[in-house]
Structure 1
């Protein structure tokens, strides 16, 4: 693990009153950000190192402050030096939903209902100070599948018809994401912390927030790339969300649209993490994500994209859950 401390850290911590803290490096994520836990007597805090130019903490700070101001449980900002990429945060502890449910699976429904309650609250709030989740952004993300997965497989695919298929699928949905809700975009069991009870949950990794469709974060939660969520639980939680929000008849079709878009994007991202960033462990998640993608493609709303997959991605790769990899 890289234990080189960020430049300027000593002065930053001294100014924040944490100059005598013990610093413990933590395992990294899929980005170039690093995290450290600070201990000062009985107190603890988290340090985010998001160094420019590869990282920029400003979007995180903006989203954290908006969430906190609106009653949602983001880590409180204790100190910040955005030009250096340093942020001192409230420590949410070490109990992530993912590991908790690995140990206590009987609590799964209760934990997921609480996570959905946060999305229901987001739906009630006016859109925050974030950019719109535009068709161009959906297309950019979906194209990661072609750029990275298809390229890695040596597939000569029709990229123009891929984009056209997504436009046909997503365009009917766009009017239904107006005026929109704040979409955290990476809302899943590894980014939700338990803070003392199953219903007291903290949010992480929301720096890419946009204003978009309320189904997006629900898909992120229930079609989790890193954790198996049984189809029965997914259906139960989708029904719970619908009962709490009164979402209309088009919602489940939009849920499938965004599920397919998100899962195609994630397959591309996980291949990119291997090919570009030297992180082959993300390839292990692709069969799960691929299976979710196939389920979404079976929805009638995805027919144009499903036809593209039938014409461009060989059945042998699809049957193998995206194919085996030999990094």
Structure 2
């Protein structure tokens, strides 16, 4: 089997929002940690920029043009949290393009016997807060949504599961797929917290009703909560949904060291969540793509990413973790019983 692939690009360092938690040093910290581990055996590649058609499958031309023009004019603030510089345009193109390149590597050649089973896009700016018609929350384009739409449009994949374990709700991803049943969006996030969306009763509409699965957790939630929700709620949903591709919106700001939230997840907790994903992906025979989202303590971010990728890229089978069922998992399993079948 082919080595797992990792896409990155130097343009990620040129997106300069000024004094800001979402800083170029995030990429440097991750890459130094991976380099110290010989990149965990990943085939490291340079990402392409996203094609216009890939972006327009999620975002209208007006938003795309507006970002390009603001960057070309010297940059400025989109909102109080979201700032661009002249280098942000290329960074955003490659952040979305890297996520699409992961999809192409994993499922772009149907029936390929030597396709990798794991890919990761290590880029900034992040994307999961970007709604179809609005950039916000440090995010310009919704990278994971662009990747999911690309998979559905360009491969044999008929259904995509997106697991978002960033501590902030992925309001943008929810917005994009609110009425779709070909993407199952599962988000574990602190509640209440920015951006104020992601209540458990937000479940989608129309054909997409039931395919948005919000799993809000209280401040102070750590491994016992997050890991149980992945193993005891998301994994059964994955088995029932039977996706052709699993994408992780991998934020590391639920870590106990992160300054922007109140999570208590440990380094090992990320490895445990990754083990649940790897085990169900192996059982379903589908690949996993990882797209970087948040994480603002540099050490916790780097260690969390290494812990995640080390498990996902492990040789041989990975056993599902043996975990106690948390009461929140029982509650949410009952809420989503119809989708579980």
TM-score normalised to the size of structure 1? 0.31
Larger of the two Rg values belongs to structure: 1
Structure holding more helix per residue = 1
TM-score normalised to the size of structure 2? 0.30
